[in-house]
Structure 1
Protein backbone atom coordinates (compact mmCIF):
# COMPACT_ATOMS: atom_id res chain seq x y z
CA UNK A 1 0.00 0.00 0.00
CA UNK A 2 1.41 3.36 -1.05
CA UNK A 3 0.75 6.43 1.09
CA UNK A 4 2.90 8.99 -0.78
CA UNK A 5 2.71 9.11 -4.57
CA UNK A 6 4.82 11.52 -6.63
CA UNK A 7 3.53 12.43 -10.09
CA UNK A 8 5.50 14.57 -12.57
CA UNK A 9 3.03 16.46 -14.78
CA UNK A 10 3.22 18.35 -18.05
CA UNK A 11 0.78 19.07 -20.88
CA UNK A 12 1.18 15.71 -22.66
CA UNK A 13 -1.39 12.95 -23.13
CA UNK A 14 0.96 10.52 -21.40
CA UNK A 15 1.13 12.77 -18.35
CA UNK A 16 -2.67 12.94 -18.26
CA UNK A 17 -2.89 9.14 -18.43
CA UNK A 18 -0.37 8.80 -15.59
CA UNK A 19 -2.30 11.30 -13.49
CA UNK A 20 -5.49 9.29 -14.03
CA UNK A 21 -3.75 6.16 -12.75
CA UNK A 22 -2.26 8.01 -9.78
CA UNK A 23 -5.70 9.44 -8.99
CA UNK A 24 -7.18 5.93 -8.98
CA UNK A 25 -4.43 4.59 -6.72
CA UNK A 26 -4.64 7.54 -4.34
CA UNK A 27 -8.40 7.13 -4.04
CA UNK A 28 -8.17 3.41 -3.34
CA UNK A 29 -5.32 3.71 -0.86
CA UNK A 30 -6.05 7.11 0.67
CA UNK A 31 -2.62 8.27 -0.40
CA UNK A 32 -1.24 11.79 -0.60
CA UNK A 33 -0.33 12.95 -4.09
CA UNK A 34 2.51 15.34 -4.84
CA UNK A 35 2.39 16.82 -8.31
CA UNK A 36 5.61 18.27 -9.66
CA UNK A 37 6.48 20.16 -12.81
CA UNK A 38 10.11 20.66 -13.80
CA UNK A 39 11.17 23.68 -15.84
CA UNK A 40 14.61 24.14 -17.35
CA UNK A 41 15.43 27.84 -17.15
CA UNK A 42 18.53 27.38 -19.30
CA UNK A 43 16.69 26.17 -22.39
CA UNK A 44 16.50 29.65 -23.92
CA UNK A 45 19.64 31.15 -22.39
CA UNK A 46 22.00 29.24 -24.68
CA UNK A 47 20.39 30.01 -28.01
CA UNK A 48 20.08 33.28 -29.87
CA UNK A 49 19.40 35.20 -26.69
CA UNK A 50 20.08 38.48 -28.48
CA UNK A 51 16.73 37.91 -30.23
CA UNK A 52 14.80 36.74 -27.20
CA UNK A 53 13.79 38.30 -23.91
CA UNK A 54 15.18 35.44 -21.82
CA UNK A 55 13.93 36.69 -18.42
CA UNK A 56 10.45 37.12 -19.85
CA UNK A 57 10.49 33.61 -21.32
CA UNK A 58 11.69 32.17 -18.01
CA UNK A 59 8.95 34.05 -16.15
CA UNK A 60 6.43 32.64 -18.63
CA UNK A 61 7.69 29.10 -17.93
CA UNK A 62 7.18 29.69 -14.21
CA UNK A 63 3.68 31.11 -14.63
CA UNK A 64 2.64 28.35 -17.03
CA UNK A 65 4.09 25.62 -14.84
CA UNK A 66 2.40 26.91 -11.72
CA UNK A 67 -0.92 27.28 -13.55
CA UNK A 68 -0.67 23.67 -14.73
CA UNK A 69 0.04 22.43 -11.20
CA UNK A 70 -2.74 24.51 -9.66
CA UNK A 71 -5.27 23.34 -12.26
CA UNK A 72 -4.45 19.64 -11.83
CA UNK A 73 -4.41 19.94 -8.03
CA UNK A 74 -7.78 21.71 -7.98
CA UNK A 75 -9.35 18.89 -10.03
CA UNK A 76 -7.99 16.28 -7.62
CA UNK A 77 -8.95 18.16 -4.49
CA UNK A 78 -12.50 18.46 -5.82
CA UNK A 79 -12.57 14.65 -5.69
CA UNK A 80 -11.53 14.70 -2.03
CA UNK A 81 -7.90 13.75 -2.60
CA UNK A 82 -5.02 15.23 -0.63
CA UNK A 83 -2.62 16.96 -3.00
CA UNK A 84 0.38 19.23 -2.78
CA UNK A 85 2.41 20.70 -5.61
CA UNK A 86 5.95 21.80 -6.33
CA UNK A 87 7.36 23.75 -9.25
CA UNK A 88 10.97 22.67 -9.64
CA UNK A 89 13.52 24.79 -11.49
CA UNK A 90 16.71 23.47 -12.99
CA UNK A 91 19.44 25.17 -14.95
CA UNK A 92 20.38 22.77 -17.70
CA UNK A 93 20.34 19.74 -15.43
CA UNK A 94 18.81 16.32 -15.85
CA UNK A 95 15.05 16.28 -15.50
CA UNK A 96 15.06 12.58 -14.56
CA UNK A 97 17.54 13.14 -11.75
CA UNK A 98 15.50 16.11 -10.50
CA UNK A 99 12.33 13.98 -10.37
CA UNK A 100 14.08 11.19 -8.46
CA UNK A 101 15.75 13.62 -6.06
CA UNK A 102 12.39 15.25 -5.30
CA UNK A 103 10.85 11.84 -4.71
CA UNK A 104 13.58 10.98 -2.23
CA UNK A 105 13.37 14.35 -0.48
CA UNK A 106 9.58 14.05 -0.18
CA UNK A 107 9.82 10.38 0.87
CA UNK A 108 7.66 9.16 -2.02
CA UNK A 109 6.75 5.49 -1.90
CA UNK A 110 5.79 5.36 -5.60
CA UNK A 111 6.56 7.46 -8.67
CA UNK A 112 3.85 7.47 -11.36
CA UNK A 113 4.68 9.02 -14.69
CA UNK A 114 3.82 8.89 -18.33
CA UNK A 115 6.02 7.49 -21.06
CA UNK A 116 5.76 7.71 -24.81
CA UNK A 117 7.50 4.36 -25.24
CA UNK A 118 9.57 5.59 -28.16
CA UNK A 119 12.15 3.26 -29.58
CA UNK A 120 14.74 3.31 -32.31
CA UNK A 121 15.95 6.60 -33.75
CA UNK A 122 13.39 8.74 -31.91
CA UNK A 123 14.58 7.34 -28.58
CA UNK A 124 18.20 7.83 -29.58
CA UNK A 125 17.62 11.48 -30.54
CA UNK A 126 15.23 12.49 -27.77
CA UNK A 127 16.34 10.24 -24.94
CA UNK A 128 13.87 9.30 -22.28
CA UNK A 129 13.11 10.99 -19.01
CA UNK A 130 11.23 7.85 -17.95
CA UNK A 131 14.26 5.70 -18.65
CA UNK A 132 16.42 8.03 -16.57
CA UNK A 133 13.93 7.88 -13.70
CA UNK A 134 14.01 4.08 -13.84
CA UNK A 135 17.80 4.14 -13.80
CA UNK A 136 18.09 6.42 -10.74
CA UNK A 137 15.00 5.61 -8.65
CA UNK A 138 15.26 3.54 -5.51
CA UNK A 139 11.48 3.47 -5.07
CA UNK A 140 8.98 1.69 -7.33
CA UNK A 141 8.11 3.45 -10.59
CA UNK A 142 4.86 2.96 -12.48
CA UNK A 143 5.09 3.99 -16.16
CA UNK A 144 1.83 4.71 -17.96
CA UNK A 145 1.30 5.11 -21.70
CA UNK A 146 -1.51 7.22 -23.13
CA UNK A 147 -4.21 5.27 -24.92
CA UNK A 148 -3.69 5.10 -28.68
CA UNK A 149 -5.75 7.57 -30.65
CA UNK A 150 -7.52 6.07 -33.62
CA UNK A 151 -7.62 8.37 -36.64
Structure 2
Protein backbone atom coordinates (compact mmCIF):
# COMPACT_ATOMS: atom_id res chain seq x y z
CA UNK A 1 0.00 0.00 0.00
CA UNK A 2 2.53 2.64 1.12
CA UNK A 3 5.91 2.25 -0.57
CA UNK A 4 7.61 5.47 0.56
CA UNK A 5 6.92 6.94 3.99
CA UNK A 6 8.30 10.41 4.73
CA UNK A 7 8.79 11.37 8.39
CA UNK A 8 9.79 14.86 9.59
CA UNK A 9 11.42 14.57 13.03
CA UNK A 10 12.41 16.92 15.84
CA UNK A 11 13.49 16.34 19.42
CA UNK A 12 10.02 15.96 20.94
CA UNK A 13 8.19 12.99 22.44
CA UNK A 14 5.38 13.51 19.94
CA UNK A 15 7.82 13.24 17.06
CA UNK A 16 9.11 9.97 18.50
CA UNK A 17 5.55 8.65 18.70
CA UNK A 18 5.03 9.53 15.03
CA UNK A 19 8.31 7.82 14.13
CA UNK A 20 7.19 4.69 15.98
CA UNK A 21 3.93 4.64 14.00
CA UNK A 22 5.80 5.18 10.73
CA UNK A 23 8.11 2.27 11.57
CA UNK A 24 5.11 0.01 12.24
CA UNK A 25 3.68 0.93 8.85
CA UNK A 26 7.04 0.50 7.10
CA UNK A 27 7.48 -2.97 8.58
CA UNK A 28 3.91 -3.99 7.75
CA UNK A 29 4.10 -2.83 4.13
CA UNK A 30 7.82 -3.28 3.43
CA UNK A 31 8.06 0.46 2.80
CA UNK A 32 11.08 2.69 2.38
CA UNK A 33 11.36 5.21 5.19
CA UNK A 34 12.90 8.67 4.87
CA UNK A 35 13.53 10.72 8.00
CA UNK A 36 14.11 14.45 7.62
CA UNK A 37 14.91 17.29 9.96
CA UNK A 38 14.63 20.92 8.87
CA UNK A 39 17.08 23.52 10.13
CA UNK A 40 16.09 27.13 9.53
CA UNK A 41 19.37 28.95 9.13
CA UNK A 42 17.90 32.30 8.09
CA UNK A 43 16.80 33.25 11.57
CA UNK A 44 20.45 33.93 12.42
CA UNK A 45 21.57 35.49 9.16
CA UNK A 46 20.43 38.99 10.03
CA UNK A 47 22.55 42.00 10.87
CA UNK A 48 23.95 42.88 14.24
CA UNK A 49 26.70 40.30 13.93
CA UNK A 50 29.02 42.45 16.01
CA UNK A 51 27.33 40.79 18.99
CA UNK A 52 26.91 37.36 17.46
CA UNK A 53 28.85 35.11 15.14
CA UNK A 54 25.92 34.04 12.96
CA UNK A 55 28.03 31.65 10.89
CA UNK A 56 29.14 29.72 13.95
CA UNK A 57 25.60 29.63 15.34
CA UNK A 58 24.25 28.34 12.01
CA UNK A 59 26.93 25.64 12.02
CA UNK A 60 25.97 24.64 15.57
CA UNK A 61 22.29 24.53 14.64
CA UNK A 62 23.01 22.30 11.66
CA UNK A 63 25.17 19.98 13.79
CA UNK A 64 22.43 19.75 16.41
CA UNK A 65 19.92 18.98 13.66
CA UNK A 66 22.16 16.19 12.44
CA UNK A 67 22.26 14.83 16.00
CA UNK A 68 18.44 14.90 16.21
CA UNK A 69 18.24 13.10 12.87
CA UNK A 70 20.88 10.57 13.95
CA UNK A 71 18.95 9.74 17.11
CA UNK A 72 15.76 9.28 15.10
CA UNK A 73 17.62 6.99 12.70
CA UNK A 74 18.92 4.94 15.63
CA UNK A 75 15.38 4.66 16.99
CA UNK A 76 14.05 3.43 13.64
CA UNK A 77 16.83 0.84 13.34
CA UNK A 78 16.07 -0.37 16.87
CA UNK A 79 12.48 -0.90 15.70
CA UNK A 80 13.69 -2.99 12.77
CA UNK A 81 13.55 -0.42 9.97
CA UNK A 82 16.57 0.98 8.12
CA UNK A 83 15.77 4.58 7.19
CA UNK A 84 17.24 7.01 4.72
CA UNK A 85 18.05 10.22 6.64
CA UNK A 86 18.37 13.75 5.29
CA UNK A 87 18.90 17.22 6.72
CA UNK A 88 16.91 19.94 4.97
CA UNK A 89 18.03 23.55 5.13
CA UNK A 90 15.60 26.42 5.09
CA UNK A 91 16.52 30.05 4.63
CA UNK A 92 13.33 31.59 5.94
CA UNK A 93 10.97 29.48 3.86
CA UNK A 94 7.78 28.08 5.34
CA UNK A 95 8.79 24.76 6.90
CA UNK A 96 5.60 23.08 5.65
CA UNK A 97 6.48 24.03 2.06
CA UNK A 98 10.06 22.76 2.47
CA UNK A 99 8.71 19.44 3.77
CA UNK A 100 6.04 19.14 1.08
CA UNK A 101 8.50 19.88 -1.71
CA UNK A 102 10.99 17.32 -0.42
CA UNK A 103 8.30 14.66 0.09
CA UNK A 104 7.08 15.18 -3.48
CA UNK A 105 10.60 15.15 -4.94
CA UNK A 106 11.35 11.89 -3.10
CA UNK A 107 8.09 10.34 -4.33
CA UNK A 108 6.53 9.84 -0.90
CA UNK A 109 3.06 8.38 -0.82
CA UNK A 110 2.52 9.08 2.90
CA UNK A 111 3.81 11.67 5.36
CA UNK A 112 3.76 10.75 9.06
CA UNK A 113 4.50 13.47 11.60
CA UNK A 114 3.78 14.49 15.14
CA UNK A 115 1.62 17.45 15.95
CA UNK A 116 2.13 19.39 19.13
CA UNK A 117 -1.45 20.50 19.58
CA UNK A 118 -0.79 24.17 20.14
CA UNK A 119 -4.02 25.98 20.78
CA UNK A 120 -5.38 29.43 21.42
CA UNK A 121 -3.06 32.39 21.16
CA UNK A 122 0.08 30.28 20.57
CA UNK A 123 -1.53 28.66 17.54
CA UNK A 124 -2.68 32.03 16.25
CA UNK A 125 0.80 33.53 16.61
CA UNK A 126 2.93 30.57 15.57
CA UNK A 127 0.67 28.57 13.31
CA UNK A 128 1.36 24.91 12.91
CA UNK A 129 3.80 23.15 10.62
CA UNK A 130 1.49 20.13 10.65
CA UNK A 131 -1.53 22.23 9.70
CA UNK A 132 0.46 23.97 6.98
CA UNK A 133 1.59 20.61 5.63
CA UNK A 134 -2.01 19.39 5.48
CA UNK A 135 -2.80 22.38 3.28
CA UNK A 136 0.07 22.01 0.80
CA UNK A 137 0.96 18.30 0.65
CA UNK A 138 -0.14 16.39 -2.43
CA UNK A 139 -0.18 13.03 -0.62
CA UNK A 140 -1.89 11.72 2.53
CA UNK A 141 -0.62 13.05 5.87
CA UNK A 142 -0.95 11.03 9.09
CA UNK A 143 -0.71 13.25 12.17
CA UNK A 144 0.17 11.67 15.50
CA UNK A 145 -0.59 13.45 18.75
CA UNK A 146 0.35 12.50 22.28
CA UNK A 147 -2.90 12.79 24.24
CA UNK A 148 -1.21 11.85 27.53
CA UNK A 149 0.73 15.10 27.79
CA UNK A 150 0.02 18.77 27.83
CA UNK A 151 0.57 20.39 24.45
CA UNK A 152 4.32 20.43 24.06
CA UNK A 153 6.68 21.56 21.41
CA UNK A 154 10.13 20.53 20.34
CA UNK A 155 12.75 23.21 20.34
CA UNK A 156 12.51 25.78 17.58
CA UNK A 157 16.28 25.78 17.91
CA UNK A 158 17.57 22.43 19.15
CA UNK A 159 18.81 22.89 22.71
CA UNK A 160 22.17 21.32 21.90
CA UNK A 161 22.81 23.90 19.18
CA UNK A 162 22.38 26.77 21.60
CA UNK A 163 24.34 24.99 24.32
CA UNK A 164 27.29 24.21 22.02
CA UNK A 165 27.29 27.72 20.56
CA UNK A 166 27.00 29.40 23.96
CA UNK A 167 29.77 27.33 25.57
CA UNK A 168 32.20 27.38 22.65
CA UNK A 169 35.71 28.54 23.37
TM-score by length of 2: 0.83
C-alpha deviations, 1:39-97, integer Å up to 9, x for none?
A: 11111223643211111111111111112212221232244313101101111111000
1:38 lines up with 2:38 in the alignment: yes
Q: Distance between the aligned counterparts of 1:31 and 1:111, measured in 2?
A: 12
Could you tell me which residue of structure 1 aligns to residue 97 of structure 2? Answer: 97
**Separation in 2, partners of 1:132, 1:15:** 16
Q: Quickly say closer, same or farther: Cα 1:68–1:27, change in 2 above 3 A.
A: same
8 Å CA contact 1:31, 1:82 repeated in 2? no
Q: Unaligned stretches of 5+ in structure 1? A: none
1:37 to 1:25, Cα distance in 2 relative to 1, 3 A: same
Unmatched runs of 5 consecutive residues or more in structure 2: 151-169
TM-score by length of 1: 0.92
Question: What's 2:161 paired with?
Answer: none
Distance 2:47 2:18 in 1: 32
- Counterpart secondary structure, 1:36: strand
SS of 1:113's partner is: strand
The equivalent residue for 2:86 is 86
Aligned length, in residue pairs:
150
Partners of 1:53 and 1:108 in 2: CA distance? 37
Q: How many angstroms does 1:19 deviate by?
A: 0.7
Distance 1:119 1:79, change over 3 A: closer
**Whole-Å separation in 1 of the counterparts to 2:79 and 2:128:** 32
SS of corresponding position for 1:82: coil
1:149 CA drift (Å)? 3.1
Structure 1 CA distance, aligned partners of 2:46 and 2:74? 35
Shift, 1:139, TM fit: 0.2
Within 5 Å, which residues of 2 pair with 1:2-151? 2-46=2-46, 48-149=48-149
